[in-house]
């Protein structure tokens, strides 16, 4: 049974994206007092492409009672089809996603970022008082027994710890590195190396629902997941590396779409055929950053998600890695509070150190996989082109499923929340102790 945590301990979560909201659920299940600070005026932000949830992440949602509530929004993914951006021929077709799903007893599920946020937010207990919008962080002050956060509106939030899950341009990380940990000001771990165009379109041109298309070429890759009545796409191409945050206009987006009109997205279908069916209100053009932060915490401040490790969306692993990190962090906090109800800064740092040690192997591995994959499918070098065109089509899908499966089976679980696992072919490494 989950123990009651003293109410004097309070966590401040900065960021109400999928990772921050999942962490709120995890702390709620641990009976830990918390507040979520979101800089925007609304939690519901629907821009962007679809999200692909892997089995280990669906298991975490199942544990907190959200899997069945989300199923109606899922596009279950079973087949991957690879083709070239310049012409029709399919270079490879495999049941990769269905094999991976069957191995772990959960499917590969696609849905929009907005649907995932709505799922987590609408089912969060006491959400009206726990989540504060329009709450942008200006400064963080470290204290002997906690942290004091000054917000843009002049208000103050005080807590025992602060958890920054505020994305790739994390204000929390900036303050942690430059002010609290005294890191040189020119240290910036995230660099935008690719540019992305994302969107959701309706009517699927007769595509087989649940198929993931990946159209690759020199300097570009288009990925598309289609469901019964709608589909999600993402187009990535390399840009000159930059650490500056860039906002694109709808005119920028439309010009890029016109430039890419003739690339193939599926057999007999060009991008212009789906762009005309795309919801322009939710379509977005953004830079895609990559980076890995060696310093995840300092005293009572800790980071998670894109704030510490970021790859492009090409593998779909970003939000999955972040949510699993949130579960690991919640476990370490729960253990610490059970043994030391009013933990010292040293005890908090020890918990954060264990969290980083637990998550580093998977996070760094997925980060490396992400970097290699995007460069391979956009043919960054002649060796990438050679491998993708003439070696990759002959690699057995079972081998790839085995490699990814070994990483998935190490997925996290909330140790303090009772849960009965499904029968699986590949046993999970982590199980609840409650």
pLDDT at 6: 58
Residues contacting 292, CB < 8 A, separation 6+: 189, 308, 309, 310, 363, 364, 367
* 179 given a catalytic annotation: no
The whole-angstrom separation of Cα 353 and Cα 151 is 28
Tell me which of 88-97, 153-162, 318-327 is least confident. 88-97
User: CA nearest 283: which of 117, 17, 47?
Assistant: 47
Alpha-carbon gap, residue 339 to 325, rounded angstroms: 22
From 174, 195, 214, 223, the catalytic residue:
223
Q: For 100-157, how does the pLDDT look when each residue is reduced to its tens digit (9 = 90+)?
A: 999 999 999 999 999 999 999 999 999 999 999 999 999 999 898 999 999 999 999 9
How far, in Å, CA of 306 to CA of 61, rounded? Answer: 19
Considering its fold, how many domains does the chain have in total? 1
* Domain that includes residue 160, residue range: 10-188+291-409
pLDDT digits (tens, 9 = 90+) for 158-189: 999 999 999 999 999 999 887 766 666 556 78
- Residue 268 tokens, joined: 């007999």
Q: What are phi and psi of 19, to 5 degrees?
A: -70, -45
- The SS3 assignment for 39 reads coil
Distance, in Å, from the CA atom of 368 to the CA atom of 276, rounded to the nearest integer, reads 35
Do the domain assignments include residue 418? no
Question: DSSP label at 155?
Answer: -
Q: Percent of the chain, pLDDT > 90? A: 79
User: What pLDDT, on a 0 to 100 scale, did the predictor assign at position 434?
Assistant: 81
In a domain, 134, yes or no: yes
Residue 217 located in a structural domain? no
pLDDT at 256: 97
Question: Domain holding 158: CATH number?
Answer: 3.50.50.60
Identify whether 128 is part of a domain: yes
Residues 6 or more apart whose Cβ sits within 8 Å of residue 126? none
- Which residue from 99, 21, 11, 3 is spatially nearest to 60, judged by alpha carbons? 21
Provide the CB-side half-sphere exposure for 83 (13 A, CA): 21
- Residue 251 domain-assigned (yes or no): no
Task: Render pLDDT for 8-61 as a digit per residue (tens, 0 to 9).
Answer: 899 999 999 999 999 999 999 999 999 999 999 999 876 657 899 999 999 999
Residue in the block written with tokens 């771990």? 189
Does some domain include residue 23? yes
Residue 202 falls within a domain, yes or no?
no
Instruction: Answer whether residue 434 is part of any domain.
Output: no
């Amino acid at each position: 049974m989950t123990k009651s945590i003293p109410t004097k301990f309070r966590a401040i979560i900065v960021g109400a994206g999928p990772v921050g909201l999942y962490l709120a659920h995890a702390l709620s299940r641990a009976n830990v007092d918390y507040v979520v600070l979101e800089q925007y005026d609304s939690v519901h932000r629907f821009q962007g492409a679809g999200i692909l949830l892997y089995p280990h992440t669906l298991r975490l949602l199942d544990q907190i009672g959200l899997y069945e509530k989300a199923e109606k929004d899922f596009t279950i993914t079973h087949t991957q089809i690879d083709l070239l951006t310049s012409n029709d021929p399919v270079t490879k077709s495999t049941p990769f996603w269905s094999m991976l799903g069957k191995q772990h007893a959960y499917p590969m599920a696609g849905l929009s970022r907005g649907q995932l946020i709505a799922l987590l937010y609408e089912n969060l207990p006491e959400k009206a008082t726990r989540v504060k919008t329009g709450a942008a962080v200006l400064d963080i002050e470290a204290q002997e027994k906690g942290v004091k956060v000054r917000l843009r509106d002049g208000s103050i939030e005080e807590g025992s710890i602060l958890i920054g899950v505020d994305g790739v341009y994390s204000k929390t990380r900036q303050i942690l590195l430059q002010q609290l940990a005294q890191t040189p000001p020119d240290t910036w771990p995230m660099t935008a190396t690719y540019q992305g165009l994302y969107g959701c379109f309706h009517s699927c041109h007769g595509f087989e629902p649940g198929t993931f298309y990946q159209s690759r070429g020199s300097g570009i890759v288009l990925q598309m997941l289609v469901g019964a009545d709608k589909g999600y796409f993402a187009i990535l191409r390399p840009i000159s590396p930059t650490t500056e945050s860039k906002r694109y206009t709808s005119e920028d987006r439309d010009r890029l779409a016109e430039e890419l009109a003739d690339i193939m997205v599926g057999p007999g279908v060009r991008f212009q055929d789906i762009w005309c069916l795309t919801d322009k209100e939710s379509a977005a053009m953004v830079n895609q950053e990559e980076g890995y932060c060696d310093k995840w915490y300092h005293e009572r401040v800790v980071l998670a998600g894109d704030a510490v490790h970021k790859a492009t969306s090409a593998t779909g692993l970003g939000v999955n890695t972040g949510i699993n990190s949130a579960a690991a962090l919640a476990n370490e906090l729960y253990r610490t509070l059970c043994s030391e109800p009013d933990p010292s800064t040293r005890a908090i740092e020890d918990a954060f150190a264990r969290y980083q040690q637990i998550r580093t192997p998977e996070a760094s591995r997925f980060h490396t996989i992400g970097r290699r994959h995007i460069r391979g499918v956009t043919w960054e070098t002649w060796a990438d082109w050679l491998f993708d065109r003439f070696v990759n089509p002959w690699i057995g899908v079972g081998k790839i499923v085995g490699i990814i499966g070994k990483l998935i089976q190490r997925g996290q679980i909330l140790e303090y929340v009772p849960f009965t696992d499904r029968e699986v072919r590949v046993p999970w490494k982590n199980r609840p102790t409650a």
